[in-house]
Copies of this chain bind each other. A is one copy, B any other.
């Protein structure tokens, strides 16, 4: 084993549709990667098998055995118990939220020490360490996707509160407002989450409002309004898509401004499926929607698109692995982390 190999670490990003694996070297550069679809059937064991297989493929590309890695980090949706290494309540995965014994499972299947964290948190950590927020002391990550996830970095470290911080999607933007998928009223996610936007679009469509959204969806063989469907509809000038995205941007402006008025961070990074797909023009629109609500508006934070793209989550997960092989258990004790949806 060469010295450089000794320092290789793995990262796994477990998403609702895909599993992304990376192998990073000691300089935190990606030396190999692999992507597999997330299993659609089965349960926790099938997820663990798929994670191990994706990691093994990336390791093969890097020319190492999985067990030669210093460790592997996993970014996961659901409620994270970093200490026990268990994920629960990840309802978009097969098994419908049944506990996934992530650290023990990967140890058994891959012979490698594993570290576990919330998927949005690791994505934000990657942008902080290696991406659009390099050098920022404080940071708010806005993961605009099916839901609206958040990640907070203060003094260079993730702030997780008692395990349920950074729930940006459930910041209230309208008292008595729209019903959120979480059951509460007026949450940011009720206006800006792609899931809530789709519910609203289907409701309006049923009531006779015209839109190309569902035709584009069907043409692509999809069952959901994925980010690419929204992007295409916007390109075609579809009025319903324009209106619903405008409403989402307005809500994002208010919710992110509220977070900034509380935290006054240096940098905001916009990511997530929809954020990444719509890209810089919409990052600029969100920035403009923040300004009317920003208290310290004479020196707004930088507002940037994520820089690491699809690999960010897996890269951030890899950063969970301590620089040198530790002698003790798998990760420091941490409080359970509730889900932050992408």
Across the interface, A161 reaches (CB within 8 A) one of B167, B170, B263, B293, namely B263
Say yes or no for A299: interface residue by CB 8 A criterion.
Answer: yes
A171, B172: Cα distance in complex, Å: 9
A262-B295 CB under 8 A given contacts A175-B250, A254-B186: no
Q: How many copies does the complex hold?
A: 2
Count residues on chain A whose CB falls below 8 Å from chain B CBs: 45
Smallest Cβ distance from A289 to chain B, in angstroms? 10
Interface string of A193-212 (1 = CB under 8 A from B): 00000000000000000000
Within 8 A of B (CB), among A143-186: 150, 152, 154, 159-168, 170-175, 177, 182, 184-186
Known: A184-B292, A293-B170. A262 touches B264 (CB 8 A): no
**Could you give, for residues 264-301 of chain A, a 1 whenever the CB lies within 8 Å of some chain B CB and a 0 otherwise?**
11100000000000000000000000001101100100
Given the complex, which residues of B lie within 8 Å of A163, measured CB to CB? 264, 296
Kindly state whether residue A261 has any CB partner on chain B within 8 Å: yes
* Residues of B contacting A72 in the complex (Cβ-Cβ under 8 angstroms): none
Residue A138 lies at the interface, judged by CB distance under 8 Å to chain B: yes
Q: Is A216 close to B, CB under 8 A?
A: no
How would residues 59 to 75 of chain A score, 1 for a CB under 8 Å from any chain B CB and 0 otherwise? 00000000000000000
Q: CB within 8 A of A251: which of B167, B175, B254?
A: B175
A258 interface residue per 8 A CB criterion: yes
CB neighbours of A30 from chain B (8 A): none
Complex CA gap A160/B137 in Å reads: 13
A257 at the interface (CB under 8 A from B): yes
Find out whether the CB atom of A172 lies under 8 angstroms from the CB atom of B257: yes
Partner of A171, one of B159, B166, B261, B264: B261
